[in-house]
Amino acid sequence: MDWGALHTILGGVNKHSTSIGKIWLTVLFIFRIMILVVAAEKVWGDEQKDFVCNTLQPGCRNVCYDHFFPISHIRLWALQLIFVSTPALLVAMHVAYRRHEKKRQFRKGNQKCEYKDIEEIRRQRFHIEGSLWWTYTSSIFFRLIFEAVFMYAFYFMYDGFRMPRLMKCSAWPCPNTVDCFVSRPTEKTVFTIFMIAVSSICILLNVAELCYLLTKFFLRRSKKAGNSKQQPNHENKEETKQNEMNELISDSCQNTVIGFSS
Amino acid sequence: MSWGFLCDLLSGVNKYSTGVGRIWVAIVFMFRLLVYVAAAENIWKYEHDEFECNIKQPGCENVCFDYFFPVSHIRLWALQLIMVSSPSLLVVFHVAYRQNREKHHNQKLYRNPGEIDGGLLCTYLISLILKTGFEIVFLVLFYKLYNGFKIPHLLKCDIRPCPNTVDCYISKPTEKMIFLYFLVATSCLCIILNLSELSYLICKYSQKCYLNRYMKKQQ
């Protein structure tokens, strides 16, 4: 169980995402998870071993390290990536639930469902409409919150995004104020700034996706309001017709579960 | 989740590349990625542990190492590999967009969604320019950060808390230098391949454009 498993899970969500969602997923995997695994983990690999304090007092180095790094950058990033990826699971679960319902309908032999076989249900791509729209939008909202919270946590815990070369420590059992030196501070600063920059890009992508979804929602509503005012035998545009048919089919499948006729 | 992910990505890109593009992918796999994973990573693995200064002052080694290696060669190499492979994603996204459009309209809009023409040609050319740009940027970065591509045996350091000028010794400088030259050589080869692919595509499509215009004039 490692980052590969996350890739498998989120890869499934990719099919049902918007284009911006797909770009976000790519940025997440290539510029955050991959950089974390192949580069950042090695930079922080020797952080405690090479944290040197100008004292022979046993225990002083340990205590100072713990005081300045309550939670290591690398662990915080790993947590951030996990939390930020988790809301996408909401979408995955919703899609799985819909598929499950349709499979059940298909197995019952319901004629109203227009799928030829189970495989077609499995391969079907759901449009982001109805309740799935709400799930998807909530997942983006949660992603934004998590990103912002972790960025603030970084800034708060480490007094900015710079890694100092020298830290002065006077925690017990250090006999007095002791100079402690961090290993690779410049490289760590570079990677911290890189990860923060990519986080910001991901936040921008999420905001753009949210705006896109809201715009699409309001446009669809105004189209529907406009269409309902026109005559019943008026010819609608193909897209709206197809959307309505899709909704009717999915509604009819769900209604037969509850026992109503469509 | 590691370099295997990048391998899968590049294999996907291979489908939509020209012949020269496929040679570029092969070179990136064999002479850069594989060399990085199989050899280079191990050479730089204990660079900090094996960096020794002729002093017992605690903190002096840390500070001198940080001063001479603000970003390690091996990290720059890894970043270079990732950044240089990323522009190929633009092509993958564009092809996926074309395929989506065909599905959406339920009709064949393109002769072949993966064929390099029209908008996809522009995207491909942009990705080539970006790849070349990243290669050059990283080579310049390497040159500027380390004052050339040499790795000296001995460095003199006098930063606080080192009490005076101190001799510091890098581990495996010759081996690191050889691999650094190898990295530079493969980068330059990739730049040449990208530039030749760029000129080939521009020539091919200018010719096509010119012939089409000529045929139209004849008619």
The pLDDT, as a whole number, for residue B195 is 95
Total domains in chain A come to 1
B77-87 residues labelled b (16+ CB within 10 A) or e (exposed): bbbbbbbbbbb
The pLDDT, as a whole number, for residue B1 is 60
How does residue A156 score in pLDDT terms, banded at 50, 70 and 90? very high
Write the DSSP string, chain A: --HHHHHHHHHHHHTTS-HHHHHHHHHIIIIIIHHIIIIIHHHSTTTTTT-EES---TTHHHHHHHHH-SS-HHHHHHHHHHHHHTHHHHHHHHHHHHHHHHHHHHHTT-TTS--SSHHHHHHPPPPS-THHHHHHHHHHHHHHHHHHHHHHHHHHHTTSS---SEEEE--TTSSS-EEEE-SSHHHHHHHHHHHHHHHHHHHHHHHHHHHHHHHHHHHHHHHHHHHHHS-TTSPPPHHHHHHHHHHHHHHHHHHHHHT---
Structural domain contains residue A260:
no
Does residue A131 contact residue A21 with C-beta atoms inside 8 Å? no
Global pTM value: 0.79
Does residue A255 register a pLDDT over 50? no
The pLDDT, as a whole number, for residue A184 is 92
Give SS3 for B170: coil
Does residue A166 register a pLDDT over 60? yes
For testing contact with chain A, the best of B9, B62, B67 (most A CBs within 10 A) = B62
Question: Does any CB of chain A come closer than 8 Å to the CB of residue B5?
Answer: yes
Residue of A nearest to B1 (CA): A4
| Nearest Cβ partner for B161 among A30, A179, A191 | A179
CB contact under 8 A, B89 and A6: no
Q: Domain range for residue A94?
A: 19-46+75-106+125-164+185-218
The pLDDT, as a whole number, for residue A117 is 64
The pLDDT, as a whole number, for residue A249 is 45
The pLDDT, as a whole number, for residue A110 is 61
**What are the extents of the domains in chain B?**
31-209
Structural domain contains residue A1:
no
Third-level CATH fold of B31-209: de novo design (two linked rop proteins) (1.20.1440)
How does residue A244 score in pLDDT terms, banded at 50, 70 and 90? low
| Nearest Cβ partner for A53 among B48, B58, B75 | B58
Give the separation between CA B114 and CA B174, rounded to whole angstroms: 46
Give the separation between CA A206 and CA A138, rounded to whole angstroms: 11
10-residue averages of pLDDT along chain B (219 residues): 78 83 87 87 88 90 93 93 91 86 78 75 93 95 90 90 91 90 93 94 89 84
Question: Residues B122-174: pLDDT tens digits?
Answer: 999 999 999 999 999 999 999 999 888 888 989 999 998 899 999 999 988 88
What residue type is A58 in one-letter code? P
Residue of A nearest to B46 (CA): A46
Chain B nearest-CA distance from A64, in A, is 14
Beta-carbon contacts below 8 Å between A and B: 97
Does residue A23 register a pLDDT over 80? yes
| Nearest Cβ partner for A179 among B6, B59, B69 | B59
How does residue A108 score in pLDDT terms, banded at 50, 70 and 90? confident
The pLDDT, as a whole number, for residue A242 is 54
| Top-confidence residue, B217 or A53 | A53
The pLDDT, as a whole number, for residue B140 is 94
CB contact under 8 A, A186 and B2: no
Structural domain contains residue A67:
no
For testing contact with chain B, the best of A31, A184, A237 (most B CBs within 10 A) = A184
The pLDDT, as a whole number, for residue A47 is 84
